[in-house]
Chains A and B, each alone.
Chain A
Amino acid sequence: MTAGVRPEELHPGCLPPTPSQTIGPYFGFALSWEDGPLVVPEGSEGAIRIEGRVLDGAGVGVPDAMVETWQADPEGRFAHPDDPRGAVEWGEFRGFGRCATDGEGGYSILTVKPGPVPGPGGTMQAPHVTVSVFARGLLQRLVTRIYFGDEEERNGADPILSTLRGGDAVRRTLIADPTDRGYRFDICLQGEDETLFFAI
């Protein structure tokens, strides 16, 4: 984002990261896994659908996007050695979901609702799913978070949601609405309802 400053100068002795490039329009035949959208196997107890559409600045569905999700298990743990509380497996929960959008920009992930996760400074983060969006026309991935509309109390105490500038209109873009089979979360790349994206 900054002209002139080099990674090598900021962090002597370190290697600069390889730059990002767009995923392009032709990834579907390579990156679509049969079980991609299944964070938990079909038929799992408590499984929910998180689904919605990826929309462009004209409000048109983006048919060549890919949505990826990463999240804690219902206990708020990660099956990963860098979780300082220790890596914990939770049944057949994979934590990771991947779904290419359909012709209308729709995606759908089968998962379970994550538990709250500790944040730095003794805070507690509300249940959330971390999201990457890739698409033709995106030169780097976009990162956002899905919070849950029926978690008002925890959302109110979440260290990220509660410190966002821009008020409710912006906060709303990060909150999935409950549906009869899970939650609905549209991702607007641009425009009035533009989703808030993070630099992580």
Chain B
Amino acid sequence: MDEVERKAKLGEGTPLWPGPGEGLVVPGYRRDHELVDPALDWPAYRGTSLRHPRRPLVPIPGTLADSTGPLLGEDRVGEADFDLTSGHPGEPQGQKIVLHGRVLDGNGRPIPGTLVEVWQANAAGRYWHKVDRHPAPLDPNFTGVGRCMTDSQGRYRFITVKPGSYPWENHFNAWRPAHIHFSLFGRAFAQRLVTQMYFPGDPMFPYDPIFNSVRDPRDRERLICAFDFDATTPQWALGYKFDIVLRGREQTPFEEGHR
């Protein structure tokens, strides 16, 4: 792909309308997520077949609706919502873990005060969801839903149990690698991200079309948390660390000169 075509694809070519400098100047977000995100049409994952648009996505310049976004507050989050092992009569089954990390933008700046939502299967690989028919047992002491707000340094922290692998019907003998779902807002509609976090060394990695829908191994690597001995707590829980990067803002000439 030549430079012009590449730039056009990234939205850096001639805009559809007059560029900044005239009228309202809106902070734009880089489109480098397009280089790492999976394709929508991914036959190995059968669920995509009737659900991916056939027409190409139409690039549009950043507008006010994309560079703003919901700043959802503390009122969404209960004090114990970060602790998925709490709120039930007893302790959940499974390996207790502390999962923490930072939410950053693509310029390396922490994103404080942003809502992080997680959900997961229990230690046996069963979701607390009516659609999940996997015969593994539900755990009366584990629902698998967590929420928290990042602190002033962009940090988040959850206490939970390591989820189990579970079978699905995509292909013969299909099992998902253990994963925790993440939903993030950042500060702008353009930064919205829903993803899945995996655990190091999962033997299911080579067989999972969802994990492998991210085509570059360097990008897949960034969906895997790291074992964190420092966050591991004696007699209590293993520590894991997972940093999340949301799209970064385009540098304005002013910022460029002051980096």
Contacts and interface: CB of A to CB of B under 8 A. Distances in A.
A196 B59 CA distance: 11
Contacts of A17: 32-33, 36, 106, 193, 245-248
Given A11-B106, A18-B222, A190-B51, A139 B60 contact: no
A79 to B, nearest CB: 8
Contact of B106 (A16, A30, A96, A139): A16
Given A17-B36, A26-B129, A163-B17, A83 B117 contact: no
A14 B32 contact: yes
25 contacts: A1-B9, A15-B248, A16-B106, A20-B38, A21-B210, A23-B183, A24-B181, A26-B119, A26-B132, A29-B127, A31-B117, A60-B50, A70-B69, A78-B65, A80-B68, A80-B71, A96-B69, A120-B22, A120-B25, A135-B51, A137-B47, A139-B213, A140-B38, A196-B58, A197-B53
Contacts of B48: 137-139
Interface of A: 1-7, 10-11, 13-31, 33, 56-58, 60, 62, 64, 68, 70-72, 78-80, 82-85, 94-96, 117-123, 125, 128, 130, 132, 134-143, 159-160, 163-164, 189-191, 194-200
Contacts of A128: 65
A70 to B, nearest CB: 5
A84 B32 contact: no
B64 A83 contact: yes
Chain B, interface residues (CB within 8 Å), range: 35 or more
Interface in B24-55: 24-27, 29-40, 42, 45, 47-55
A84 B59 contact: no
Interface stretch (B89-97, B184-192, B231-239): B184-192
B85 interface: no
Contacts of A14: 30, 32, 106-108, 248
9 tightest A-B CB contacts, nearest first: A121-B18, A137-B47, A30-B119, A96-B70, A80-B68, A7-B32, A137-B51, A139-B38, A57-B50
B30 A121 contact: no
B76 A16 contact: no
B145 interface: yes
Contact of A194 (B32, B54, B144): B54
B165 interface: no
Contact of A199 (B11, B64, B68, B145): B11
B226 to A, nearest CB: 14
